[in-house]
Amino acid sequence: MKVLTVVGARPQFIKLAPVSRYLRRWHREVLVHTGQHYDDNLSEVFFRELEIPAPDYNLGVGSGTQGRQTGEMMIRLEEVLEREAPQAAIVYGDTNSTLAGALVAAKRHVPLLHVEAGLRSGNRAMPEELNRVLTDHVSDILCCPTETALRNLAREGLTRGAHLTGDVMYDAVLHNAGIARQRSGILARLGLEVKGYLLATIHRAENTDDPARLRGIVAALNALPGPIALPLHPRTRKVLAQQGLALAAHVLVLEPVGYLDMLALEMNARLILTDSGGVQKEAYFLAVPCVTLRDETEWVETVEAGWNTLAGAETQRILAAASASGAAPRAPAAGGATLFGDGRAHVKIVDLLAEVG
Ligand code: UD1
Ligand code: UDP
């Protein structure tokens, strides 16, 4: 079968890797990169490290407002779909690249498979929430990473084509954690000791685009005991400079790092503070306590298991959650194997293509 895959942003390259490797054993994949992320350390590094074949198309859409970025993607994707006439299309996650791919495929009646279907935060102010809901409602095969996701879809009447596959990010961690242990030298490079530092990431629009929230988070990082490694998304770097917000010397501000360095930083951290979806899950897979700098999470299982605490963006709440996280009672993190699948989500997903083939 000829399968057209659309990706464009950092977490999608990581989700794509295990699926693409297996898919190409059975099908012909036409890989489209929308160009949503274009810096080497947000895009190319993942293709190199995860040995993802070069995209067949890079649409070079780049940054822009929500409407312009999504619209440009749709215009250029439609031409590719017309030329390639695939038998199925695959989209991942909840970015603007996901929504553009989903709308164009659905309107051209190309059977659509959504990897990471059914996630909900309940917060429609997030662009990602709109992208998820709309993508799920035009998809033919809905690949849910968790039971919660499957239930969320049922609540919206989406049961046909919905399957529990497990989470491809768990597959990716199983495949790459050992490689990261062997190859990454980032701790030595930064002078960090195993379990002797914290790791933080901040990039979600609800935090970067709200000055009070961003100030609250920065004040918390400045007050926490260091060192804190902070690989910084360019969006956040820009806003910090615009707002004149300074980070204390114990916060090591880094360029975004590659996946193997990120896994090494995660697995050796004492605590992770993040507003990233993927990083919350990886903290759980790697048995590292996590404080989530958001008011809600799609990954409720990690909170219920005691490994993740929702702290929002208020300084005192973040500090309290960070100091309590060492003592929180937890289910064994090996629960990753059941709550997020068995490491073979990529196989189940590719097998599901038979439903439309
Ligand atoms: C996007 C996704 C978000 C995901 C994140 C992963 C949407 C709506 N959001 O957010 O769900 O968690 O990717 O990292 O799709 N920029 C660069 N270089 C790049 C790319 C972006 O400097 O290669 C800067 C630009 O100033 C740009 C800003 O980052 O305006 C935001 O980029 P964009 O892709 O629009 O959204 P993300 O915040 O990356
Ligand atoms: N990640 C990375 N380098 C970084 C920050 C994150 O490789 O500097 C990885 C991280 O390990 C996870 C994914 O990127 O696999 C998460 O992406 P991101 O936080 O950008 O988006 P989200 O998951 O919130 O959509």
CA of 182 to the centre of ligand 1 (A): 30
- Measured by CA distance, the residue closest to atom 15 of ligand 1 is 95
Residue 336 falls inside a structural domain = no
Residue 326's pLDDT is what? 73
Average pLDDT over residues 177-184: 97
Residues 146 and 6 in one domain: yes
Say yes or no to pLDDT of 9 above 80: yes
Residues 180 and 294 in one domain: yes
Residue 332 falls inside a structural domain = no
Q: What is the pLDDT of residues 104-141, one digit of tens each?
A: 999 999 999 999 999 999 999 999 999 999 999 999 99
Residue 335 falls inside a structural domain = no
Q: How many domains does the chain divide into?
A: 2
Average pLDDT over residues 288-310: 95
Average pLDDT over residues 168-186: 97
Residue 338's pLDDT is what? 79
Q: What is the pLDDT of residues 194-223, one digit of tens each?
A: 999 999 999 999 999 999 999 999 999 999
Percent of the chain with pLDDT over 70: 97
Q: Which atom of ligand 1 is nearest to the CA of 127?
A: 8
Pocket test for ligand 2, best of 186, 262, 266, 272 (most atoms within 8 A of CB): 262
Pocket test for ligand 1, best of 204, 235, 236, 292 (most atoms within 8 A of CB): 235
Please list every protein residue whose CB sits less than 6 Å from any atom of ligand 2: 10-11, 14, 201, 203, 231, 256-259, 262, 276-279, 282
Residue 183's pLDDT is what? 96
Average pLDDT over residues 173-179: 96
Contacts 24+ apart (CB under 8 A), 305-314: 305/330, 305/331, 305/333, 305/335, 305/339, 306/330, 306/331, 307/283, 307/333, 308/280, 308/283, 308/284, 312/216, 313/207, 313/210, 313/212, 313/213, 313/214, 313/216, 313/217, 314/216
Residues 253 and 319 in one domain: yes
CA of 36 to the centre of ligand 1 (A): 7
Residues 67 and 118 in one domain: yes
CA of 220 to the centre of ligand 2 (A): 21
Torsion, Cα 337 279 66 157, to 10 degrees, reads 20
Residue 21's pLDDT is what? 98
- Measured by CA distance, the residue closest to atom 2 of ligand 1 is 95
Residues 123 and 36 in one domain: yes
Please give the positions annotated as active site: 203
Average pLDDT over residues 74-84: 98
Q: How confident is the model at residue 336 (pLDDT cuts 50, 70, 90)?
A: low
Residue 351 falls inside a structural domain = yes
Q: Which atom of ligand 1 is nearest to the CA of 208?
A: 38
Residue 357's pLDDT is what? 76
CA of 330 to the centre of ligand 2 (A): 24
Q: Which atom of ligand 2 is nearest to the CA of 95?
A: 25
Q: How confident is the model at residue 151 (pLDDT cuts 50, 70, 90)?
A: very high
Average pLDDT over residues 226-254: 97
* Domain interval for residue 304: 174-327
Residue 262 falls inside a structural domain = yes
Residues 15 and 154 in one domain: yes
Q: How confident is the model at residue 337 (pLDDT cuts 50, 70, 90)?
A: low
Residues 121 and 223 in one domain: no
Say yes or no to pLDDT of 69 above 90: yes
Residue 246 maps to which CATH number? 3.40.50.2000
d(CA 288, CA 327): 12
Residue 7 falls inside a structural domain = yes
Residues 38 and 79 in one domain: yes
Residue 327's pLDDT is what? 67
Residue 106 falls inside a structural domain = yes
Residues 113 and 184 in one domain: no
Residue 193 falls inside a structural domain = yes
Q: What is the pLDDT of residues 262-288, one digit of tens each?
A: 999 999 999 999 999 999 999 999 999
Q: How confident is the model at residue 332 (pLDDT cuts 50, 70, 90)?
A: low
Residues 35 and 161 in one domain: yes
Residues 246 and 182 in one domain: yes
Average pLDDT over residues 61-77: 98
CA of 249 to the centre of ligand 2 (A): 24
Note the ligand closest to the C-alpha atom of 236. 1
Residues 162 and 15 in one domain: yes
